[in-house]
Amino acid sequence: MIIGEPFKVDHDSKKGYKWVITRICDKCGDKKDVQGVKEIIQRQERDGIILCNSCNQKQRNRNPSGTYKDQRCFKKDGVWLIERVCENCGNKQDISCSSFFYRRKNGSQILCWDCSQKDRKIPRGKDNGHWKHGITTNGYRRINIDGKRVLLHRYTAEQKIGRKLNPDEQVHHIDLDKLNNAPDNLYVYENRKQHQDAHMSLERCGFQLLGKSIWYDADLREYTLEEKTRVDVDIGIPQRHTYVKTDPRTGTAYEFWWDSAKKQARRWHIVVAEIALGRKLRRNEKVHHIDGNSLNNDHNNLSVMSNKKHKEAHWSLQRCVASLFRKGYVVFQKGRYSI
């Protein structure tokens, strides 16, 4: 731990003094005035622990890389291992330290082999992509035409419009079922941007139906058609002066706050999420606006998740709207969805 504030001591240099700070080793209790004030303070904020040189060296000897100071690492048959507990089923297994901490650093879930394979959507048997009429890893059906393997939905769209598709043209499945390649379920867009705009209109319908026909599951971090009860909690986020600025890449407006300590502008929804979590966001984490309003930065409207989970959350919203489309609550006209 750190005691007191940095102070000056006499030193034989041009300045005549040096800055030191008093630190106490959290393990052995050794007390000493040390230099490198900025580094010591950063280490305290990052690791939450301050060690002397002797204890730090012992800690490094437990892990060959010296990067992950974790007492759970142990050496077996010349390999450094750690006990991994699956976050899904609770299964325990000894795995390598490097693999464990790499996944934790990137914000990925710590899963066993069986649970990690459940998320794989690679079909087996005759539907496997290596068969003549199999399904690709993206979920599209392939067929053989004149000895060439082509995608069935693009071939069906070509038969529908009576010509070959251009490379830039995109074929959209109206009900989002990639295996439903009926001509009435396919719509051809001129380019990728128009296809993305169609999916954005699908999400806008979902946000309009939020709380009426679609609900957000905070535990699973996805949207569902089952009614969920939302409990709002007030944690006392401090009021600060913010301003609105539009992201030139996406055209989305965000609230920004000027951090005078770091001398940089930060997105306010990220700051609110970090205050609610009590820690900084990891490299692989995103802050999701549940109602789709990027200016609604109430912490009850924010959900922190990994990049992969963030994409799945948007896809879950689109799947919910597609289910309502099949029931007739949502219509598709002129390449756009509406209620």
State what percent of residues in the chain have pLDDT above 90.
34
Q: Which of 4-8, 31-35, 61-65, 201-205 has the lowest mean pLDDT?
A: 61-65
Give pLDDT, residue 84.
83
Q: Report the 10 Å Cβ neighbour count for 2.
A: 15
Per-residue CA distances from 150 to 130, 144, 187 (Å): 13, 6, 18
Per-residue CA distances from 28 to 22, 238, 269, 310 (Å): 15, 39, 41, 43
Higher pLDDT, 204 or 234: 204
The rounded distance, in Å, linking the Cα atoms of 307 and 317 is 16
Please check the confidence at residue 169 and state whether its pLDDT lies above 80.
Answer: yes
The rounded distance, in Å, linking the Cα atoms of 285 and 279 is 12
Give pLDDT, residue 97.
81
Tokens of 297: 């930065």
Instruction: Quick: pLDDT tens for 303-332.
Output: 999 988 999 999 999 999 999 999 989 999
For the segment 229-245, the average pLDDT, to the nearest whole number, is: 81
Strand partners, 280: none
The rounded distance, in Å, linking the Cα atoms of 196 and 31 is 61
The rounded distance, in Å, linking the Cα atoms of 132 and 117 is 25
Helical (H) or strand (E) element with 5: strand 2-10
The rounded distance, in Å, linking the Cα atoms of 243 and 176 is 38
For the segment 221-239, the average pLDDT, to the nearest whole number, is: 82
Please check the confidence at residue 58 and state whether its pLDDT lies above 90.
Answer: no
Give pLDDT, residue 15.
53
Q: Cβ(59)–Cβ(65) under 8 Å?
A: no
Q: Cβ(173)–Cβ(180) under 8 Å?
A: yes
Q: Mean pLDDT for the chain?
A: 82
Tokens of 303: 């959900």
Length, in residues, of the chain: 339
For the segment 163-176, the average pLDDT, to the nearest whole number, is: 92
Strand partners, 90: none
For the segment 94-112, the average pLDDT, to the nearest whole number, is: 75
- Region for 251 from its dihedrals, namely left if φ exceeds 0, alpha if ψ lies in -120 to 50, beta otherwise: left
* 253-259, strands of its sheet edge to edge: 242-246, 253-259, 264-267
Q: Tell me whether strands 215-217 and 79-85 are parallel, antiparallel or unpaired.
A: unpaired
